[in-house]
Structure 1
Amino acid sequence: MDNDIYGHVNNVVYYSYFDTVINRYLIQEGGLDPWNGEVIGVCAESSCRYRAAFAFPEDIEAGLRVARLGGRSVTYEIGLFKAGREEAGAEGRFVHVFVPRGDMTTAVAIPEQIRAALAKLQAG
């Protein structure tokens, strides 16, 4: 899954990067337990604007912020950067809706510990 036939990271891999950046933050800062927690976040919407190609084994840095923090959902903005560069090579948008693990159809309130961690990332 590194480089595709055109010699760069394939577009679908960017979404995996977004997911990794978001969930790493939620686990480390928000106390999310993706394996046993009662509430999980599921992706309701995502998009990416590609500005520059990445290629393995190039280092990629990521930035994460919260564009909108609702009662049951959050909209993230993610920037992927070539190491040391200030201009994003890709800009992502990702919406999480929080649901009970056993019923992934009914949105619930964002757990307080996760909400507090997300509030730290609110764009301002």
Structure 2
Amino acid sequence: MDRTTFPHFHAITTRWKDNDVYGHVNNVEYYSFFDTVINEFLIRAGRLDIHGGPVIGLCVESQCTFKASLAFPDTVDAGLRVAKLGNSSVTYEIGLFRSGDSAAAAIGRFVHVFVDREHRRPVPLPDELRTALEGIA
């Protein structure tokens, strides 16, 4: 996958604490980058109210394939697209690119199930959210 695969990007600045003793961004931070680009999109484009809305997204599956190291002080361009849009679930694909690179440093997969905040049971995607997600499918 290259940059052209992803219709949405969000720039993330690495932090000093992201590096591990081996001098590169620790693998756990890649998942944090996934979470950041997804939720940035859901909040801004999909108008998801993470604090008080009746619907929330729960991660039920995630995966990362590492291709190259990232390190502080890199800027990571996190690309996002929808691979599958269901009634109450979304499968995303994420590409993490060092700023200026055309090849991904990591490729991710992340599945959200949207549930009722109170009862935690799956619910249909709200219309505004579905429309935003369709725009990056």
Shorter-chain TM-score bucket reads over 0.9
Who is 2:54 aligned against?
A: 38
User: What is the SS of the residue equivalent to 2:74?
Assistant: coil
Structure 1 unpaired stretches of 5+: none
Does the residue aligned with 1:35 lie in a helix, a strand or coil? coil
Task: Please say if 1:58 is aligned against 2:74.
Answer: yes
Give TM-score, length-normalised by structure 1: 0.95
User: For residues 76 and 101 of structure 1, what CA distance do their matches in structure 2 show?
Assistant: 21
CA distance in 2, matches of 1:40, 1:22: 13
Structure 2: gaps spanning 5 or more residues: 1-16
1:70 aligns with 2:92: no
What is the number of residues matched between the two proteins?
A: 121
Higher relative CO (Cα under 8 Å, sequence separation at least 6) belongs to 2
CA RMSD of aligned residues (A): 0.7
Q: Would you identify which runs of 4 or more consecutive aligned residues in structure 1 move more than 3 Å?
A: none
Aligned partners of 1:3 and 1:37: how far apart in 2? 35
**1:102 and 2:95 matched:** no
Structure 1 counterpart of 2:65, from 49, 67, 71? 49
1:6 is aligned to: 22
Instruction: For residue 100 of structure 1, report the CA deviation from its aligned partner.
Output: 0.9
